[in-house]
């Protein structure tokens, strides 16, 4: 593929599962809704597994159920009239701004989940006991993504025969996050969809051969932010036992709760053509938003873009009035985590040096973008980094100068040599600092800590760098945002058969070790030893009493060998720098 346009041609039109379907007797499982029929597949390594594709876990969120909390699916299926979970469902309605010429795709009736289990052979002892469960939440900046096997395939986890793997769809963009700030339209619907799917898994996974008391919640990017938020939500307590948080954080700037959700709801309504939205009661506004054409509602996101496709994330979580509703978030999660209001479960989190490439690389593939940004640098760049003080132009200018001094040799512009500098800015701002603060605040609350740390360093034959740059021939030195998924999640709609690495190749060996690492964590709640070395939970460093140097972690480096390292992977000066600029962290 040479560019994003080719990617677009296949991204949402891929209908098949890139695994061989085995022509044997169909698997059938009884659930709380009755009998579900799946089908059996083979991985490229010829391991058989059962897939149950598109199981409904909620009533379709359409009509009067749009922009409301999800309701459990209630239809029942008999043994003689079962539900055939054998085909991938359409993804949730969305407008993916990372694609060229983005348009609205998908459907509102999209709340389905996917369950995959290894074929049990009676001679294998581990198949005679309940298997650990990984529930995976896809990323996509809360406005895009899909849970089906064309984008979120379970083949690599099924190769291990060690776990059951579950994915779920959830509402995205304004359909998933609009709110009036009260019980008329409480918000966080996409996150509540996830919770309802998790409840379904808790109640039913034992019938698939899974252990309902050994569930790991795993997510990447916005999915990682979701996992982090589930650790702080009362609605999700006791639904999972471990957390795997990949290149994302519930307290990163892209996930900061909206301060005025009602204003955003009014603005969306006006942009979608609802007349007199400004003067409506919250009840009337909510009802009109439930009736407006869904495509118009998704397209209304365009009006919030101030430059190019930025800000990238428009629809975000909100703090709910939990006196009036059963809220997902009852307080600002930055404050909740800092005060220790979260589930005490083992978790592992980390990033890669090129995470910021998800935005930075696109700038340098378009000379017009760079020229326009440089022309309006003092006005635009603080908004892109979310460091602008809306009440003080002077403070905004001071903050911008600090960023320029640290990363751009004091210059208030970008040149073609600044690509790596811009990647570092976005990485430090959106990924490094939030992750480090999460670990720092944890060790302040927990004497021994609960979290483990990783760094992803592996640079393989495939990368998302070309997608972000708009040219698949583009190469970048470091692994970039989503590159870890190449070795965890099979995505034939993106990579075709290029992820079917030749047995014994460098990529195939790395993939096997990486997946095994996470299945072990899902099984035991702590990483196993690597070459005789143990990965320790992050703790407080009593040798220091200032700033982020209070954190002491060794870490697992996902490099060619996957190794435990004892040097410090966190740039503490960068963390302190961004904390000084970010008032939101000073709750």
Please give the structure tokens belonging to residue 43.
Answer: 């991985």
Question: Quick one: CA torsion of 306, 307, 309, 310, rounded to 10 degrees?
Answer: -60
pLDDT for 25: 82
Give dist(CA 299, CA 164) in Å, integer: 37
Whether 156 maps to a domain, the answer reads yes
Query: Residues of 412-442 as b/e, b for ≥16 C-beta within 10 angstroms?
Result: eebeeebbbbbbbbbbbbbbbbbbbbbbbbb
Whether 585 maps to a domain, the answer reads no
Count of domains in the chain?
A: 1
Mean pLDDT of the 96-113 span: 95
pLDDT for 325: 86
Q: Which residue has the tokens 């609802």?
A: 274
Whether 537 maps to a domain, the answer reads no
Whether 274 maps to a domain, the answer reads yes
**pLDDT above 90 coverage of the chain, percent:** 75
Whether 372 maps to a domain, the answer reads no
Give dist(CA 564, CA 557) in Å, integer: 6
Determine the longest span between alpha carbons in the chain, in angstroms.
72
Each residue's pLDDT tens digit, 423-444: 999 999 999 999 999 999 998 8
List of residues 6+ apart from 552 with CB closer than 8 A: 443, 538, 539, 540, 541
C-alpha angle 579-581-585 in degrees, rounded to nearest 5: 45
Among 67-71, 524-528, 557-561, whose mean pLDDT is lowest?
A: 524-528
pLDDT for 584: 40
Give yes or no for residue 467 having a pLDDT over 50.
yes
User: % helix / strand / coil in the chain, to the nearest 5?
Assistant: 40, 15, 45
Q: Say if residues 472 and 495 touch (Cβ distance below 8 Å).
A: no
Residues forming a β-bridge with 243: 217, 347
Mean pLDDT of the 120-149 span: 84
Q: CA–CA distance from 171 to each of 32, 279, 315, 367, 514 (Å)?
A: 23, 28, 11, 35, 30
Residues forming a β-bridge with 113: 55, 168
Whether 128 maps to a domain, the answer reads yes
Whether 516 maps to a domain, the answer reads yes
Q: Say if residues 544 and 552 touch (Cβ distance below 8 Å).
A: no
Give yes or no for residue 456 having a pLDDT over 70.
yes
449 vs 543, residue with greater confidence:
449
pLDDT for 125: 53
Q: With a threshold of 0.85, does the pTM exceed it?
A: yes
How many CA within 13 A on the CB side of residue 240? 36
Q: Of 244, 243, 251, give the one whose Cα is nearest residue 225.
A: 251
Give dist(CA 248, CA 230) in Å, integer: 13
C-alpha angle 105-138-166 in degrees, rounded to nearest 5: 115
Give yes or no for residue 359 having a pLDDT over 90.
yes
| 3-state DSSP assignment of residue 393 | helix
Q: What is the mean pLDDT of the chain?
A: 90
Give dist(CA 422, CA 415) in Å, integer: 10
CATH number of the domain where residue 14 is located: 3.40.50.1820
Q: Say if residues 160 and 516 touch (Cβ distance below 8 Å).
A: yes
Mean pLDDT of the 86-110 span: 95
311: preceding bond cis by omega (within 30 degrees) = yes
DSSP sequence for 207-242: GGTEEEEEEEEEEETHHHHHHHHHTT-GGGTTS-SE
Q: How many CB atoms lie within 10 A of CB 24?
A: 10
Tell how strand 39-42 and strand 48-56 pair up: antiparallel
Please give the structure tokens belonging to residue 559.
Answer: 């490099």
Alpha-carbon 89 to chain mean position: 20
Whether 564 maps to a domain, the answer reads no
Parent domain of 251? 4-355+455-524
Please give the structure tokens belonging to residue 527.
Answer: 């990483």
């Amino acid at each position: 593929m040479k560019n994003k346009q080719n990617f677009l041609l296949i991204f949402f039109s891929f209908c098949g599962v890139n695994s061989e379907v085995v022509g044997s007797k169909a698997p059938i499982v009884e659930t709380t809704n009755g009998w579900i029929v799946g089908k059996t597949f083979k991985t490229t390594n010829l391991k058989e597994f059962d897939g149950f594709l598109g199981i409904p876990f909620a009533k379709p969120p359409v009509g009067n159920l749009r922009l409301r909390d999800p309701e459990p699916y209630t239809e029942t299926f008999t043994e003689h009239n079962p539900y055939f979970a054998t085909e991938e469902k359409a993804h949730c309605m969305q407008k993916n701004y990372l694609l060229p010429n983005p348009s609205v795709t998908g459907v509102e009736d999209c709340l389905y989940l996917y369950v995959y289990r290894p074929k049990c052979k009676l001679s294998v002892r581990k198949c005679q006991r309940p298997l650990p469960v990984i529930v995976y939440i896809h990323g996509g900046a809360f406005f895009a993504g899909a849970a089906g096997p064309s984008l979120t395939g379970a083949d690599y986890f099924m190769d291990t025969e060690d776990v059951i793997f579950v994915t779920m769809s959830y509402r995205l963009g304004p359909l998933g996050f609009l709110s009036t700030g009260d019980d008329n339209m409480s918000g966080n619907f996409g996150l509540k969809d996830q919770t309802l799917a998790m409840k379904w898994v808790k109640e039913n996974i034992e019938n698939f051969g899974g252990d309902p008391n050994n569930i790991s919640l795993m997510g990447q990017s916005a999915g990682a932010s979701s996992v982090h938020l589930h650790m702080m939500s009362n609605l999700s307590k006791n639904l999972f036992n471990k957390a795997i948080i990949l290149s994302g954080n519930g307290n990163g700037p892209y996930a900061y709760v909206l301060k005025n959700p009602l204003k955003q709801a009014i603005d969306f309504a006006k942009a979608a053509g609802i007349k007199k939205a400004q003067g409506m009661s919250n009840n009337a506004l909510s009802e009109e938003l439930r009736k407006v054409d869904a495509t118009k509602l998704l397209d209304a996101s365009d009006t919030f873009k101030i430059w190019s496709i930025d800000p990238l994330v428009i629809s975000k979580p909100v703090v709910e009035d939990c006196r009036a509703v059963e809220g997902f978030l009852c307080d600002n999660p930055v404050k909740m985590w800092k005060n220790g209001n979260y589930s005490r479960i083992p978790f592992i989190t980390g990033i890669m040096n090129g995470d910021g490439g998800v935005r930075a690389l696109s700038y340098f593939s378009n000379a017009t973008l760079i020229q326009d940004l440089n022309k309006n640098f003092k006005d635009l760049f603080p908004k892109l980094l979310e460091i602008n003080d809306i009440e003080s132009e002077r403070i905004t200018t001071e903050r911008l100068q600090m960023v320029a001094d640290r990363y751009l040799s004091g210059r208030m512009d970008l040149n073609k040599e600044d690509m790596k500098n811009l990647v570092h800015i976005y990485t430090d701002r959106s990924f490094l600092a939030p992750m480090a603060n999460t670990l720092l605040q944890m060790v302040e609350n927990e004497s021994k800590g609960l979290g483990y740390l990783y760094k992803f360093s592996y640079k393989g034959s495939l990368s998302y760098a070309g997608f972000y740059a708009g040219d698949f021939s583009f190469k970048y030195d470091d692994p970039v945002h989503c590159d870890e998924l190449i070795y965890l999640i099979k995505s034939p709609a993106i990579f075709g058969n290029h992820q079917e690495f030749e047995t014994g190749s460098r990529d195939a060996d790395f993939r096997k070790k990486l997946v095994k690492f996470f299945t072990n964590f899902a099984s035991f709640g702590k990483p196993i030893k690597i070459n005789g070395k143990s990965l320790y939970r992050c703790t407080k460093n009593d040798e220091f009493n200032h700033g982020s140097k209070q954190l002491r972690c060794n870490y697992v480096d996902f490099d060619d060998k996957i190794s435990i390292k004892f040097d410090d992977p966190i740039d503490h000066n960068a963390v302190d720098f961004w904390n000084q600029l970010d008032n939101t962290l000073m709750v």
